[in-house]
Amino acid sequence: MTMTVIRSEIRPGAYYDSAVLMQLQRGLLGLPGVLDSGVVMGTPANLELLEQSGLLTDAAKKAGVNDLLIVVKAESEPATSDAFAQVDSLLARRRSTVAQEFRPKSLETAVQQLPEAGWVLVSVPGRFAAGVAREALNLNRHVFLYSDNVSLEDEVALKQTAQSKGLLVMGPDCGTAIINGIGLGFANRVRRGAIGLVGASGTGLQAITSHIHTLGSGVSHAIGAGGRDLKSDVGAITMHQGLDALARDPDTRVIVIVSKPPAPEVATRLLAAAQATGKPIVVDFIGYPPPARKLGNLHFATGLSEAAEMAVKQLSVISDQSLITVPLITGYLRGLFSGGTLAYEVMLGLQAVLSPIYSNTPITESQNLPDPLKSQAHTIVDLGDDVFMVGRLHPMIDNDLRLRRLRQEAADPEVGMILMDVVLGEGAHPDPASELAPAIKEIRDQRPEIEVAAIAIGTDTDPQNLESQVERLKAAGAVVFRSAAEAVEYVARRMTQRPGSVGVPVALVTLNRPLAAINVGLESFYASLVGQGAQAVHVDWRPPAGGNEKLAAILAKMKKK
Amino acid sequence: MTMTVIRSEIRPGAYYDSAVLMQLQRGLLGLPGVLDSGVVMGTPANLELLEQSGLLTDAAKKAGVNDLLIVVKAESEPATSDAFAQVDSLLARRRSTVAQEFRPKSLETAVQQLPEAGWVLVSVPGRFAAGVAREALNLNRHVFLYSDNVSLEDEVALKQTAQSKGLLVMGPDCGTAIINGIGLGFANRVRRGAIGLVGASGTGLQAITSHIHTLGSGVSHAIGAGGRDLKSDVGAITMHQGLDALARDPDTRVIVIVSKPPAPEVATRLLAAAQATGKPIVVDFIGYPPPARKLGNLHFATGLSEAAEMAVKQLSVISDQSLITVPLITGYLRGLFSGGTLAYEVMLGLQAVLSPIYSNTPITESQNLPDPLKSQAHTIVDLGDDVFMVGRLHPMIDNDLRLRRLRQEAADPEVGMILMDVVLGEGAHPDPASELAPAIKEIRDQRPEIEVAAIAIGTDTDPQNLESQVERLKAAGAVVFRSAAEAVEYVARRMTQRPGSVGVPVALVTLNRPLAAINVGLESFYASLVGQGAQAVHVDWRPPAGGNEKLAAILAKMKKK
């Protein structure tokens, strides 16, 4: 066993960009006698990582989150000393590979240098990122905010400002975007085409755009939103803006939206907006139970590959019945079901577009109908629930309970549509239409503005005569479907409320003209832009007061005065 | 305005079956001068329903849950009196329409009368149902338990007993089943065929079987499990038994399982069992986010109609690569991802079959990895998580963090497989294989029992040369996939543990011989059985001590002594 020496050095409050730190670490590793090295900021996670690599010394444990920590493990004491002696020259050597003279030191100067730049890419460390993004918005530029570790409050504030100015803030923690053929951050080289994407998920967008390319199709724009955009606090501001822009973009024929599961109310508003675009929309909310396979122009994918496949397939679908405009029903939906699972499937489908919706067979706790005997807002009731069933026949056999509830709902001035199931077969009522059809007719006669729809479940060999049941329900004035899925799709089309404005719309020209950008942070992103033929300027950015936060605060105060 | 009279009568602790009560109500409604009527057990919900219909008198409010409450609303006092005078004769009239002489009074006698009866249908009121079901199990009969309002404890006890005897308890609250062509309870008349179903959802099974019929295919058996079967307490005992039986049934080629969302650990065990059958299985866990579109022989449907369509489609699929037996990998999976969404999609897919599984990008809270720097059991880590990113380049650019973690995982004796993503494109590392391939080779050389798999995301035009990256990863000993979905499917096939026994298997002959049954409860179910050509006996059942619970308890005590 050889003797090894580990030594560390702490540089308090020093700022270096992450690429510089990586280069330093690699430089140290390349020196003679050096066995391992760590160059990190002194966060608890980084200290633990050093410990796992056998690089944590007692001295190193004292490093704070804003301190740079350099550790070298070497074969001998002299090798360690030699390595540390070269730290500064290694840092300096890296710098000298880049020509500095033409580099602006501030965003303001950079904008003067490249006035046509519509975009600012921000990849500085998280604690400085919001400030740079704010500056970019003040200069009326879209922001691609790659940085992570940005607070939720900053995100909301930035996005609200952007929204009021018709600007996009993609991020924070936005890994990827493709605007007018140019990749920002991490982006695969894909064919131009008619599929537009908005994603709160970086590798989600990368996987889908790559697969679209592999399938022979292409991408108009892929807009990133940042992983938290669909949380309640943010309310999907960026995804709404992106969706709206792609809906207006004549070169985008199919839209894909992708995200981890959104907050329920955010999903509802977003899907309503997606429906209102009229364009085919493929939705992949990974881990969100799809409300249906298809809801009008919305197509729900299971997984990233399938999302790409469905989008490509939609490109070749010429006309879509669902796109025909139908008059909207105002008022609430009341669903009166005898089948618990049918109620549940309808609930699952409609919760995506109708809100608030309640049920005694709820999907989430907040949808629980306090009193199953009284509807409120949109309501789906399972009349076969245990609570109704003490000493009473099931509503598939005995229509009494449903007939009374039908009259109750029809008397409610807030009701716009009543939906029910009619389940045929052995054991069920021998002729449900004989009792339900007159009740439907009564409603349609007295309140013709209330639409009545029925889902008939059965076969052509069932004892009740399916065809005659359906005919009599129709004759009474009901719209009749043969599955819950069809009914859900119909109700969604008739009752989804058009969402409100997304603020000042993003001007399409800012997306569709040749991309020019200012890069603040990782130099490799600048190199990538230039390599792709985009005009770009890299800012030689330094944190305020060299990263010393106390000093920065004093400077900021002085500036205000 | 006419004067109306409402009068009520309470019959304490009296038992009548629900059909009799419905007939009485209808009889009363048909009498001259009667405007409305309610005949219900005095539960709070029923009293509220009476109030909504304007039928609740002060006297009626005193009815208890075990009391029969009769309310009549009539045009005049004499009409009310006349109606009540006829209650007993209406009850008697109904009885006299049925020939009583051949009816056994007990299950035991019924079994002597029809020894070939393999099934007992129980539809007595909930509080008596568990007792009747227990009696049926003691007589070694399968139970179709239609009754609702049965306690969870009773359900668990009944199913455990059944399981130990190779018997099924379908229910409680089981609305439907089709056994060997005969519908039990509510069931649609459908063609015989090669699709078998197990459902914890009555109208779910009805909707799917009806749609299968409409599509021209047919059903071998449709086994009900009851709405609570997939809850943790019950552990899907009946669905496991049904799945096992259908897997062994040579006439069943495709299986559909349907339920509301199962408890996560129940889902995992059930899907593992489904995978082990080797038959194509269509899964519709309504509201459960599908782990993938396809996992080996498992096909995940979005909705009841689609479940039917997928099942019919699977009938015509001849061979399936996934059915080829592959050697199982023992040990744990460790996923080391640079893409958060890829990690999440893989997590979503694998949580359905691997348990326990942890992640710093968990789907449910219980999957949260306490320390992202340390794996435990199956683990999926997103190395691009904020916690890793302070002062460090993203793992798509800098492989250092992943290389160290790779070595750490490879040193863990419990590890059986390592999965990673390799994301190419603009902004990413110019040649990830140059660093990852040697690390993979080192693992494969030192611990060849560890399998290494990679998901390569990119396009043929990406700057890294996709083809060369893939070739070098393969040459190092990795299995390489082009999407998360493919990788998930592969891992699921290699790592899903075969589930344990389902207890004593249900003898197929008890399903496949001509159905004969004993009916206890709703007479209409008996009529339906006979109408379908099945042999059946109806028990002229009365609750112990005429439904008086106190008396019944005394009798039960005396019996024990």
DSSP labels, B535-547: EEEEE----GGGG
CB contact, 8 Å: B89 with chain A?
no
Residue B349 with chain A: CB contacts under 8 Å = 303
State how far the Cα of B208 lies from the Cα of B303, in Å rounded to an integer.
Answer: 9
- Helix axis angle, A77-85 relative to A87-96, nearest 10°? 40
Structure tokens at A383: 């009349």
For B202, name the nearest residue in chain A, comparing CA atoms only: A341
Determine, for residues B186 and A286 on separate chains, whether the beta-carbon distance falls below 8 Å.
no
Q: Give Cα B485 distance to the centre of its chain.
A: 25
Would you say B282 and B307 are in contact if contact means Cβ atoms under 8 Å apart? yes
**pLDDT tens digits, one per residue of B518-530:** 999 999 999 999 9
Residue B541 has pLDDT above 70, yes or no: yes
Evaluate whether B466 touches B432 at the Cβ level (below 8 Å).
Answer: no
Interface subset of A 491-520, CB within 8 angstroms of B: none
Question: What is the tens place of the pLDDT at every residue in B320-355?
Answer: 545 556 788 989 999 999 999 999 999 999 999 999
Mean pLDDT, range B497-505, rounded to an integer: 82
B54–A contact, CB cutoff 8 A: no
Dihedral pair phi/psi, residue A466, rounded to 5°: -50, -50
Give the span between the Cα atoms of A425 and B500, in whole angstroms.
Answer: 37
Contact: A401, B49; criterion CB under 8 Å: yes
Q: Which residues are within 8 A (CB) of A232 and not within 5 positions of it... i.e. 6 or more apart? A: A263, A265, A266
Asked if pLDDT for residue B96 goes beyond 50, the answer is no
Asked if B423 and A52 come within 8 Å (Cβ–Cβ), the reply is no
For B472-492, what is the mean pLDDT? 96
Q: Do A187 and B300 touch (CB under 8 A)?
A: no
Q: What is the dihedral of CA A396, A400, A402, A407, to 10 degrees?
A: 160
Do the bridges between strand B5-11 and strand B68-74 make them parallel or antiparallel, or are there none, so unpaired?
antiparallel
Residue B309 near chain A (CB below 8 Å): no
Give the model's pLDDT for residue A35: 95
Query: Would the CB atoms of B423 and A25 count as touching at under 8 Å?
Result: no
Distance from CA of B94 to the nearest CA of A (A): 16
Question: pLDDT grade, residue B97 (50/70/90)?
Answer: very low
For residue A464, the distance in angstroms to the closest alpha carbon of chain B comes to 10
DSSP string for B385-448 = SGGG-TTS--TTT--HHHHHHHHHHHT-TTEEEEEEEEE-SBTS-S-HHHHHHHHHHHHHHH-T
A227/B340 Cβ within 8 A: yes
- Quick: pLDDT tens for A152-199: 999 999 999 999 999 999 999 999 999 999 999 999 999 999 999 999
Contacts of residue B374, defined as CB under 8 A and 6 or more positions apart, other chains included, come to none
Half-sphere exposure of A41 (CA within 13 A, CB side): 21
Amino acid at position A423, single letter: V
If you average pLDDT over residues B433-439, what whole number do you get?
Answer: 98
Chains A, B: CB contacts within 8 A come to: 355
Compute the average pLDDT of residues B373-398: 93
Determine the Cα–Cα distance for residues B12 and A377; give it in Å rounded to an integer.
39
pLDDT tens-digit readout, B16-46: 778 888 889 999 999 999 999 999 999 999 9
Which of B379, B337, B327 is closest to B354 using CA atoms?
Answer: B379
Neighbours of B99 (CB within 10 A): 7
What single-letter amino acid sits at B152? L
Q: List, for residues A198-218, the tens digit of each pLDDT value.
A: 999 999 999 999 999 999 999
Smallest CA–CA separation between A326 and chain B, in Å?
Answer: 25
Pair of tokens at residue B214: 């409409």
Q: Which chain B residue shows the shortest CA-CA distance from A29?
A: B400
From the list B202, B288, B457, the residue facing A341 with the nearest CB is B202
- 8 Å CB contact between A423 and A339: yes
Task: Note if the bond before A514 is cis, omega within 30 degrees.
Answer: no
What phi and psi, each to the nearest 5 degrees, are found at residue A168? Answer: -105, 140
The ipTM estimated for the assembled molecules is 0.90
Q: Are B400 and B317 in contact (CB under 8 A)?
A: no
CB proximity under 8 Å: B 134-173 to A: 148-149, 173
For residue A150, give the 3-state DSSP assignment: coil
Tokens (6 digits) for A140: 């009326």
**Are B440 and B473 in contact, with CB atoms under 8 Å apart?**
yes
Lateral strand order in the sheet of B142-145: B169-170, B142-145, B119-122, B516-520, B535-539
Neighbour order of strands in the sheet with B68-74: B5-11, B68-74, B34-41
Residue type, B405: R
Nearest to A172 by CA among B386, B18, B221: B386
Buried-state track A268-296, b at ≥16 Cβ within 10 A, e below 16: bbbbbbbbbbebbbbbbbbbbbbbbbbbb
In angstroms, the Cα distances linking A156 to A130, A260, B279 are 11, 19, 50
pLDDT at A89: 86
Residue B146: which residues within 8 A CB-CB, separation 6 or more? B121, B122, B123, B171, B172, B173, B174, B175, B185, B521, B522, B525
Comparing CA positions, the residue from A525, A216, A232 lying closest to residue B425 is: A525
Structure token pair of residue A332 = 């609430």
Q: What is the pLDDT of residues B214-248, one digit of tens each?
A: 999 999 999 999 999 999 999 999 999 999 999 99
Closest Cα partner for A86 from A37, A140, A27, A152? A27
Where in A286-326 does DSSP place strands (E)? 294-295, 298-300
Taking CB atoms and an 8 Å limit, are B289 and A459 in contact across chains? no
Min Cα distance A303 → chain B (Å) is: 6
User: What is the distance in angstroms between the CA of the first residue and the CA of the last residue of chain B?
Assistant: 64
A532 at B interface, C-beta within 8 A: yes
* C-beta atoms surrounding B457 within 10 Å: 30
| A-contacting residues in B 233-252 (Cβ below 8 Å) | none
Chain B residues whose CB is inside 8 A of the A176 CB are 425, 427
Say if the Cβ atoms of B345 and A390 lie within 8 Å.
Answer: no
Residues B23 and B59 sit within 8 Å (Cβ to Cβ) = no
pLDDT at residue A97 in the model: 44
Selecting from B345, B389, B423 the residue whose C-beta is nearest the C-beta of A286 gives B345
Tell me the one-letter amino acid at A337.
F
Report how far residue A539's alpha carbon sits from residue B408's, in angstroms, rounded to the nearest whole number: 39
ω into residue A356 within 30 of 0, thus cis?
Answer: yes
Which residue in B has a C-alpha nearest to residue A392's C-alpha? Answer: B18
Beta carbons of A446 and A410 less than 8 angstroms apart: yes
Q: Is B254 helix (H, G, I), strand (E, B) or coil?
A: strand
Crossing angle of helices B202-214 and A340-350, rounded to 10°: 80
Residue of A41, A53, A396 lying closest to B390 (CB–CB): A41
Residue B208 to residue B40: CA distance in whole angstroms? 33
% of chain B exceeding 90 in pLDDT: 80
Please, what are the averages of pLDDT over each run of 10 residues along chain A (561 residues)? 84 81 91 94 92 92 91 94 90 58 87 96 94 98 96 98 98 96 97 97 96 97 97 97 97 97 91 93 94 93 96 84 70 97 96 93 94 96 91 93 96 97 96 98 97 97 97 98 96 86 91 96 94 95 73 68 51
How far apart, in whole angstroms, are the C-alpha atoms of residue A269 and residue A289? 16
